[in-house]
A and B are shown apart, each in its own frame.
Chain A
Amino acid sequence: MKYFPLVLANLGRHKRRTFLTIASVALALFLFASLRTVVTTIGLAAQFGSARRLVVTNATGIVFPLPLSYANRLRAVPGIEAVSWANWFGGRYGDGKRFFANFAVDAESYLAMYPEIVLPPEQRAAWLQDKSSAIIGRRLLDVFGWRLGQNVTLQGTIFAGDWTFTILGVYTPSDAVLNDDMLLFHHALLDERIGRAGIAGWYVVEIDHPDHAAAIAKAIDDLFRNSSAPTKTGTEQAFNASFATMWGNVSLLMNTIGMAVVFAILLVTANAMMMSARERTGEVAVLKTIGFTDRRLFGLVMLEAGFITLTGAALGLGGAKLFYKGTNFNAAGFLPGFDVTGGTLAVGAAIALLLMIASGLFPALRAARLPVVEALRRVE
């Protein structure tokens, strides 16, 4: 450690270069952390779901509804403790540019099914009482500037017409993966306005034990096999995972870019380290003459490289963590729970160490192996 001042002095000799190199490393790791967080967030969304919840959809495809009459038959299946249902509404607000999810749900059973949707008790009671009211995620308050008690009108795209709801509740998700920008309203209202069509988009059922999931799913599908609308039942997690795969090769894309970013920055740092080393040939020779061992000189150059890459990494990774936390970023609702994970920080730190070795090794070896006499000849 006593050589630290020497390393600092070396770094300080080209302040601009040191600063720019650290800044490039910081930017690269910021970018790396951002890209990797996209991948981890999608992965997290794919794993979201209670092991005790199953989702029942129409076997023909998610876009086809199921009869509302299935609710009672589902309740009778052994092992099912609660049943709720929801319907994708697909309403647009204003010019429709800011997309957000809105569902018609069977309010009381849905809230009971999803304790992750945290709603103050008095708001919960108010919402359950008023069939024309809705609850919204906290984020929508900021996005559209809505207030509690306000009327908002959505244009139906699937269910035509203008739909006006009174906002009687604002929920906060207890799990960050759950969207905090949904609008939920009463399925009963939807059913009434579309002429009691008696349809539900999908059912969510709560089962008595996660181990029974496969057996109960099979029992449900068998029950409706020969009816007009056969079902496909799976765990909530599988349901969410199927949405995550819809992104296609996004992980591959993000990882490829991440690699390119890291490699590009390796080139910048390696170049900077090599330039510094070359300029200091004479100095190194002097140090050797006054008794610095080869090993120590090797260490000094490595320490210098390490200082640059690790400082850059701390700035870039820390910056990414704070930035996304501070701005509450969620990619306009597409990536809820966007947060740089500990794993990402660790990988980023490992990359910084690799960068240190890759960029410092060559100049460090050069310094260690420098033939003193020859080098001194060039010293003015």
Chain B
Amino acid sequence: MKIPILYNVRSVLQRPVSTALTALGVALVVAVFIGMLALANGFRAALARTGSDRNVLVLRKGADSELSSGLSREAASILAASLHVAAGADGRPLLSPEVYVLIPLAKRFDTTQVANVVVRGISNQAWSVRSKVQIVEGRKPESGRSEICLGTRIVLRFPNTAIGESLRFAGRDWTVVCHFTAAGSAFESEIWGENEQFMPVFRGQVFQSITFRLRDPAAFEEAKRALQDDKRITVDAHRESTFYVEQSQLLGRILRILAILITSIMAVGAVFGAVNTMYAAVAARAPEIAVLLTLGFHPRSVLASFLIESAIIAGIGGALGCLFALPINGIVTSTTNWASFSEIAFSFRVTPGLLLAGLLFAVVMGVLGGFFPARRAARVPVVQAIR
């Protein structure tokens, strides 16, 4: 027969201070756990959303990032003629040969801090190739002019970024004519302008990457083979989505490892706290337990009952931890992605799955911490305890 859970709930309420302290300890661990993974998630999500399955990103063979790549105009025209490139509404190939460089920009709130910001020179087709990109304010830069369009995350963090203002880099002034969003992806941390404008001021007659829309999204492998076998060009073709996910792996992995290391060390401390609390509870209630055993409750039920009690305390802590962690959802932070050397702004992402994982983590801590004390409870020597 099982001991009613009500018994545990009432017992927990009997010693509010001790319960609260233990639960709070667990709550902090869970909050840090959720917070750190929300950071890792947010970073990963920003890059995972950057690429599209339907697009192919072409780099020079061996280049592991857009920055280190270089492609000639000739390569761009060879690619434009490829059968694998989809055609736009106007019949022209959906392909954007791009200039990709990093420039230092001083931040708005602390001008001594300089971030490396991506400047991407695009062709007019880029707006169609990258369907997630939406202009939210202003108009597209006009061909032949020193005009730029900024990702919304740039606007928040750097000065002189409002529409009509101008940013100075590469020895010229560039007028801001629009702001764009890109579904929270890394593109939102970039400055876009016309490739033909950027070429002469940065690296001369060379593109860094070429992105095109696949005519048949399922034919990526075929397209890749065709491009890499083409003797006229030496390129690597990547599916755009996988390429950006790979760019997140270095830092994403570091963040995850850190999260797990830190929280597991913290968790051991919290479990020790739970162990102490539960042992004290068992010791204080020895006569009660003896009565339960005398009444005919099986020692196994007593064990289960105390495990449940410990899990309840930890569960309360877990729920509190979730509450503590919730407000960080959506907070924008930024860091340098060492894989691309550029600064990316992204938001903490607290997902329902993550909250659930936090709760589960709490309950596991509770059960671990409660096990030995619960076993002790199940083995209370009845006669001695009841005296």
Contacts and interface: CB of A to CB of B under 8 A. Distances in A.
B102 A270 contact: no
A60 B119 CA distance: 11
Contact of B116 (A21, A62, A99, A272): A62
B68 A248 contact: no
B260 interface: no
A271 B273 contact: yes
Contacts of B250: 99
Nearest to A241: B112
Contacts of B22: 267-268, 271
B18 to A, nearest CB: 6
B335 A249 contact: yes
Interface stretch (B57-65, B80-88, B173-181, B187-195): B57-65
A99 B338 CA distance: 10
Interface in B21-37: 21-22, 24-25, 28-29, 31-32, 35-36
A23 interface: yes
A96 B45 CA distance: 23
Interface residues on A, range: 35 or more
A31 B65 CA distance: 35
A24 B112 CA distance: 40
A288 interface: no
A16 B376 CA distance: 13
Interface string B255-279: 0000000100110111011011101
Interface in B330-346: 333-336, 338, 341, 343
Contact of A268 (B17, B68, B102, B276): B276
A260 B65 contact: no
A160 B262 contact: no
A215 B96 CA distance: 45
A279 B283 CA distance: 10
Nearest to B337: A246
B62 A156 contact: yes
Contacts of B275: 16, 20
A160 B233 CA distance: 14
Contacts of B63: 157-158, 160
B273 A63 contact: no
B68 A264 contact: no
Interface of A is mostly: helix
Contacts of A272: 273, 276
Contact of A158 (B21, B68, B170, B270): B68
Given A64-B101, A99-B250, A264-B266, A271 B68 contact: no
A323 interface: no
Nearest to B270: A264
Interface residues on B, range: 35 or more
Contacts of A90: 68
Contacts of A156: 62
B174 to A, nearest CB: 13
A272 B203 CA distance: 65
Contact of B62 (A16, A160, A250): A160
A230 B168 CA distance: 14
Contacts of A271: 18, 21-22, 25, 273, 276-277
Given A20-B276, A21-B276, A246-B336, A261 B266 contact: yes
B103 interface: yes
A28 B114 contact: no
B109 to A, nearest CB: 12
Nearest to B27: A264
Interface string B109-138: 000111110000000000000000000000
A138 interface: no
Interface string B64-89: 11011000000000000000000000
Contact of B68 (A24, A157, A275): A157
B202 A60 contact: yes
Given A63-B102, A160-B60, A30 B171 contact: no
Nearest to B324: A260
A247 to B, nearest CB: 7
Nearest to A250: B335
Interface in A231-282: 242, 245-250, 253, 257, 260-261, 263-265, 267-268, 270-272, 274-275, 279
B279 A264 contact: no
A61 B102 contact: yes
Contacts of A265: 25, 269
Residue among A28, A245, A264 with most chain B CB within 10 A: A264
B64 to A, nearest CB: 5
Nearest to A253: B39
Nearest to A16: B279
B204 to A, nearest CB: 11
Interface in B274-297: 275-277, 279-280, 283
B118 to A, nearest CB: 11
A264 B25 contact: yes
Nearest to B39: A253
Contacts of B164: none
Given A24-B269, A248-B343, A267 B21 contact: yes
A27 B265 contact: yes
A35 B263 CA distance: 12
A229 B90 CA distance: 40
Nearest to A24: B269
Contacts of A64: 101, 202-203
Interface of A: 16-17, 20-21, 23-24, 27-28, 30-31, 35, 59-64, 90, 92, 96, 99, 155-158, 160-161, 230, 242, 245-250, 253, 257, 260-261, 263-265, 267-268, 270-272, 274-275, 279, 334
Q: Which 5 A-B pairs have the closest CB atoms?
A: A268-B273, A246-B336, A248-B335, A24-B269, A264-B28
30 contacts: A17-B276, A17-B279, A20-B276, A27-B265, A28-B269, A35-B262, A59-B171, A60-B169, A60-B170, A60-B202, A62-B116, A160-B61, A245-B112, A245-B113, A245-B115, A246-B335, A246-B343, A257-B35, A260-B31, A261-B262, A261-B269, A264-B24, A264-B28, A264-B29, A268-B272, A271-B22, A272-B273, A274-B17, A274-B21, A279-B280
Given A24-B272, A158-B63, A268-B272, 8 more contacts: A31-B265, A62-B104, A63-B341, A160-B63, A242-B104, A245-B113, A264-B28, A268-B21
